[in-house]
Amino acid sequence: MKSKLIVLILVAILSLFYSNYVLAHEGHEHQMSNGTMMDDDNMAKGQADSKSTKAVEVGNKICPVSGDKIPAPGEKGAMGDEPVKYEYNGKIYNLCCKMCVKDFKKNPGKYSKIAEDEVAKEKKMKEGESK
Residue-wise pLDDT tens digits, 26-39: 454 555 544 555 55
Domain extent, residue 61, equals 27-130
Residue range 54-71, pLDDT digits in tens: 899 999 999 999 999 998
Rounded Cα distance between 61 and 111, Å, is: 13
Cross-strand bridge partners of residue 88: 91
- Asked if the structure places residue 43 within a domain, the reply is yes
- Asked if the structure places residue 118 within a domain, the reply is yes
Whole-prediction pTM: 0.58
pLDDT higher than 90, residue 111: yes
- Asked if the structure places residue 15 within a domain, the reply is no
User: In the chain, how many domains are there?
Assistant: 1
Higher local confidence (pLDDT), 46 or 79: 79
Question: CB–CB of 115/64 below 8 Å?
Answer: yes
- Count CB atoms within 10 A of the CB of residue 110: 12
Using CA atoms, how far residue 106 sits from 31, 101, 127, in Å, is 18, 9, 34
